[in-house]
Amino acid sequence: MTDFSQKLLRWHRHSNKRQMPWKGEKDPYKIWLSEVILQQTRVEQGWGYYEKFIQRFPSICDLAKADDAAVFKLWEGLGYYNRCKNLLFTARYICKNLHGKFPEKYEDVLALKGVGSYTASAICSFAYNQPYAVVDGNVFRVLSRIYGIKKATDSTDGKQYFTTLAQENLDKKHPALYNQAIMDFGATVCKPANPACADCIMNDICIAHQNGMVNQLPVKEKILSKKTRYLNWFVIVVKNEVLVHLRTGKDIWQNLNEFYCLETDTKPDWNNESVADYVNNQFSLKPLSITVSKGFSQQLTHRQIKAVFISIELQKKPDTLRSYAWLPLDQLSGLAFPKIINEYLESV
């Protein structure tokens, strides 16, 4: 078992407080139902639907015998109704062809209509304690940051790479515990936009944290093709020096400079409190001053950039950002920046 796996299970035993009604469940029907509901739905929204389904249809054959209209009515509001169609089809198949007994072999579970590799792994590990690692968005994010992996998680090569890595890290004796732990860890600690790095049990082995790359991982190819991208630049100043970073990789503005950049899916509502919270979570430091700019935008050929600049002054350079370039403020004018950053610099 890897050092990461040991730390993860220790965190799960002593610090994981996340509650969900299907947690610890061993009934494959209930596990399958929860996974189908959560395929395109947040846990907070899916929770109530799961409880209503279990109350109305306590067994898979109860679901199989139900009228389509009654099941679709109960599903109402969840959207992606193809999931509901597959749910009914599979329930009826299991009741009619398998005498109501959910299959146990991974290959047989995977063959069920509407079941992919993630759901099959979840069912086999949680219900039967079989050694199959789940790989979802939380797992991609955690592993990419821990190991500092820059492969795109939504590419064919990346998916295969992360699936193999997840399987290598899996605790083969306690796969259910491990899978629950890594998903909960990604949901509550190693979060997408504001992970709790400062207090994280992994920060001594996390390559992304140690190299100031947390906000750059995981890499996703589809993000690079979004029509609107939201970039949040932190202008970090320490004793008249400012952090600058050269953009590399297959993205816009290659070989131009920028400040510390956090990309988000939507426009964040930054204020002094949320900025201070982010800086404390990332760097264990309190800003001496905070200034949030107005919004800036730039239209590129195939996408629009929406940006905000958060200027912060710190007492010292964050340990995780010492490898970045720090230049005197009066040298910024000699660097090449994207147009949108130059517009900001001209406004201050």
Per-residue pLDDT of the chain (348 residues; tens, 9 = 90+): 689 999 999 999 999 998 888 888 999 999 999 999 998 788 888 999 999 999 999 999 999 999 999 998 999 888 778 899 999 999 999 999 999 999 999 999 999 999 999 999 999 999 999 999 999 999 999 999 999 999 999 899 999 999 999 999 999 999 999 999 999 999 999 999 889 999 999 999 999 999 989 988 999 887 666 689 999 999 999 999 999 999 887 788 988 999 999 999 888 889 999 999 999 999 999 999 999 999 999 988 778 999 999 999 999 999 899 889 999 999 998 999 999 999 999 998
Give residue for tokens 């610090």: 15
Q: Are residues 158 and 43 in the same domain?
A: yes
Contacting residues for 64 by C-beta, under 8 A, at least 6 apart: 88, 91, 92, 94, 95, 96
Residue ranges making up the domain that contains 146? 3-188
Q: Are residues 167 and 289 in the same domain?
A: no
117 alpha-carbon distance from chain centroid? 18
d(CA 236, CA 282): 13
- Whichever domain contains 259, its CATH number is 3.90.79.10
| Side chain identity at residue 306, one-letter code | K
The answer to whether residue 76 is catalytic is no
Q: Which residue out of 25, 35, 168, 313 is catalytically annotated?
A: 35
- Whichever domain contains 57, its CATH number is 1.10.340.30
d(CA 59, CA 71): 14
Total domains in the chain come to: 2
Domain end point (choices 188, 213, 244):
188
Q: What is the pLDDT of residues 290-305, one digit of tens each?
A: 999 999 999 887 789 9
Are 116 and 138 in contact by the 8 Å Cβ rule? The answer is no
Residue 285 DSSP symbol: -
Q: Are residues 158 and 253 in the same domain?
A: no
Of 260, 277, 268, 255, residue with least CA distance to 321: 260
What's the pTM value of the predicted model, to 2 decimals?
0.81
